[in-house]
Amino acid sequence: MSIVRASHLVKTHGVGRAARRVLDGVDLELQAGEVVAIVGRSGSGKSTLLHLLGALDRPDSGSIELGGMRIDTATERELTRVRRSQIGFVFQFFHLLPELTGMENVLLPARLGGDPEALARGKELVAELGLTEVAGRLPTVLSGGEQQRLAVARALVNDPVLLLADEPTGNLDLESGTEVLTLLRRAAAAGKAVLLVTHQDDAIEIADRVLRLSGGRLVE
């Protein structure tokens, strides 16, 4: 089943002489249960593509459908709902809020949606990931691996159909990276579409498809 369908995406950064077209007609389709890795040189537009698919930014032209809904033309209010219910993000630098404990970080998206099932799911995820012991602590005292696993749990707490991961292992040691990749693979096995941007070979290894972004276009 197709989760994401992006067609002819164009995105330009900067204006005037500094303008640079980073995406120049990108087409992409993601299926449920699939892990797709996007690779490319620094500045090739990988993260930009991720942000467009994650409803964090809008393309200059082209269209994006998520679960059958056009998100490139949606209102900000609609995008907020889409982000809350259909998309999960994992960032390279975790971006756990330092004021909240690990558990509170995981449950934050659930609280935003006010969904009691999501709250229960969040607690289950923390337990499944073996983080119960550390979940009551603040992020500053947790290891990178622990933080990123919590970040994955946070991304999954609202049971999204699309999981986007931007260099999820880029800031982790090998062992922690492997744990995180395993989690992403498990998410795909649970029926989610997973798109990860990476430089890491081991991350590429878990992908069903690897796409290279070059010259503003995706190639197999």
Partner 1 sequence: MTAALRYALARLRVRRTRAVLAVLGITAAGAMLGAAVTVSYALGTGFERTADRADLPDIAATFAPTQRADVERVARSLPNVVDVSFRLDRAVIFIAAGGKTTERATAVGIQEGDRRGYAIVEGRDITREGEAVIEAGLARAWNLHPGDDMFARALNVPFGGQRLRIVGVAVSPDSVAYPLASSPIFYVDYRDVAPLIAAVPGTVDTALIWLANPDRVDVTLSQARAAGVGVDRLRFGTRVSLRLLIGQAAGLVIALLVAFSVISLVVAGTMLAAASAAEVERRVQGIGVMRALGMSTGQVTTAAAVEGALIAAPAGALGIALGWFLVAGPTDRLLASLNQLGPGLALAPLLIGSFVALVVIVAGFSALPAWRAARRPAVETMGGGDVVGVARTLPLPAGPAGLGVRLVAARPVRTLGAVIVLGLAAALILLILSIASVLRSLDQRPQALGTRYQLTLPFVAPGLDEAARATKGVEAAATRFEVLAADSFRLGEPFRIISFAADHTQYEDPVLDRGRHLRNDNEAEVGLGLATALGLQIGGTLAAQLPSGAEIRFKVVGIVRAFQDQGRIAYVNPKRLLAADPSSSSTVAVRVAPGSTVDDVREALRERGIVSLDSGGIAGQSVQGFAARSSGFLDVVIALLRSIAIVSGAVCLYAVAQVLALTAHERRRSLAVVRSFGASRVQIVLIFAGAAATIGALALPLGIVVERFALGPMVASLAASYISLPLTAGPIEIAATAASLALGATVVALLLGRAATSRPVVVDLTEE
Which residues are at the interface with partner 1 (CB under 8 A)? 47, 51, 54, 56-58, 76-77, 80-85, 89, 91, 95, 97-101, 104, 107-109, 111-113, 136-140, 154, 158
Choose between 2 and 80: whose C-beta lies nearer to partner 1. Answer: 80
Beta strands in 32-104 (DSSP E): 35-39, 61-66, 69-70, 87-90
Closest CA to 131 of 176, 76, 194, 65: 176
Choose between 154 and 176: whose C-beta lies nearer to partner 1. Answer: 154
Closest CA to 105 of 145, 143, 135, 127: 135
Q: How far apart, in whole angstroms, are the C-alpha atoms of residue 149 and residue 158?
A: 16
Choose between 4 and 219: whose C-beta lies nearer to partner 1. Answer: 4
Minimum distance from residue 86 beta carbon to partner 1 (Å)? 9
Minimum distance from residue 100 beta carbon to partner 1 (Å)? 6
Choose between 34 and 104: whose C-beta lies nearer to partner 1. Answer: 104
Phi, psi of 57 (to 5 degrees): -150, 165
Q: How far apart, in whole angstroms, are the C-alpha atoms of residue 124 and residue 109?
A: 15
Minimum distance from residue 208 beta carbon to partner 1 (Å)? 25
Q: How far apart, in whole angstroms, are the C-alpha atoms of residue 117 and residue 124?
A: 11
Q: Give, in degrees to the nearest 5, the angle at Cα 49 between 144 and 30.
A: 90
Choose between 38 and 107: whose C-beta lies nearer to partner 1. Answer: 107
